[in-house]
Chain A
Amino acid sequence: MNKKIISIFFLLIILLSIALVYYSYDKVITDEKQFDSPVETIDEDNVSEEIDDTFIEEDEEIEIGEMI
């Protein structure tokens, strides 16, 4: 009886450790992915996108919804 309880106890500890290790491993991988962008090759579209981002369109409006 005693042995059974001890083995369940250790099994639980092992399971818990696996869960914690998996969680921290997964978090590290996610964090790394955010910084791991591929090396860019610049084409005309890339330049134009960045230029677009630099300016504001003259007819831009703030949308707060329609009254009716």
Chain B
Amino acid sequence: MKKITTLLIMLMIFIPISSLAIADEAEEENEDSDIDNKTVEEIKIMNNSLGAEIRLLQLQKSIIKNLLKGEMAVEVLEGLGYNTTTLEAILSEMNNTLEEVKAANTSSNESVQIFVELKSQAKNLTTQFRETIKELLDGEKLREIRERIKEMVSAELENISKMIRNKIKQFNRNQLYKLYGIIGEVNNSFVKKYLNGNVSLAEVKLQICKTINQMNKERRYEIFSEIKKGNIQKKIHAQASIDNMKNKVKGKGNGKGK
């Protein structure tokens, strides 16, 4: 009798524990959404150093833009007699993040991890700055400052924008040659026109689509499958990088617990 009662109690304890374990597993799976979809899309091209270089340069540009805006806002606030110590501290941290982005090695296997971490850092600092300035000024003054910094012009920003545009053109040229390789015909003059800016990317895409759609059904299917395969491979690579990052973070977390 006693034995049966003990077994019964044990079973009653075991059921909620097992359901908790199942729920925990589901929670772990949900952790995947920590990295937003936009970032996952962005890291898809980072499977080669040119792609990594483009993403890190774009991140650099976004940070520089925000730093300039922040500096201008601080100047205006100082003129109005506000205490800007906290805002300046945030800008100084943002500057450190910018230096880290500049120093990142684009051919390293860890470039994806570096990009995700530094992007997240830059986002957090931007939010911190926005929240702090909101506490200092009312809506009217914020609008005024927003208007003033709208007309911001910077040689540094223009240079980096040019650099990014050139790198993207190189990247797209490589992709175009890959597509031509799959299709089995090359249009060098068209590539040159794209690189010189005489043909837009939209026109390039349209031309490729037309060429594929003019082919017979079997050939079209073959080419489509080959292009899709390449795109899926990029997605797999991006997912693998995210998993790798998470494992590293988990490893560090476990290490700390010990």
Q: Name A residues whose Cβ lies closer than 8 Å to a Cβ of B.
A: 1-2, 5-6, 8-9, 12-13, 16, 19-20, 23, 42, 44, 46-48, 50-58, 60-68
- Residues from 47 to 75 in B contacting A, C-beta threshold 8 Å: 54-55, 58-59, 61-63, 66, 69-70, 73
- Are A68 and B62 touching (Cβ within 8 A)? no
Question: Can you report 20 A-B residue pairs in the complex whose CB atoms are below 8 A from each other?
Answer: A5-B4, A5-B5, A12-B15, A16-B15, A46-B224, A48-B205, A51-B205, A54-B230, A54-B231, A55-B172, A55-B176, A57-B168, A57-B201, A58-B169, A61-B62, A63-B62, A65-B123, A67-B70, A68-B145, A68-B149
Residue on B nearest A54 in the bound complex, by CB: B175
Residue on A nearest B120 in the bound complex, by CB: A64
Contacts between the two chains (Cβ within 8 Å), count: 121
Interface class of chain B by DSSP: helix
- Beyond A12-B12, A52-B205, whether A47 also contacts B126 by CB under 8 A is no
Considering the chains assembled together, what is the distance between the CA atoms of A42 and B226 in angstroms? 13
Query: For chain B, which range describes its interface: under 10, 10 to 19, 20 to 34, or 35 or more residues?
Result: 35 or more
Residue on A nearest B19 in the bound complex, by CB: A19
Considering the chains assembled together, what is the distance between the CA atoms of A54 and B142 in angstroms? 41
Q: A50-B227, A54-B178 are in contact. List 8 more A-B contacts (CB 8 A).
A: A8-B8, A9-B11, A42-B220, A47-B220, A47-B224, A51-B208, A56-B54, A56-B172
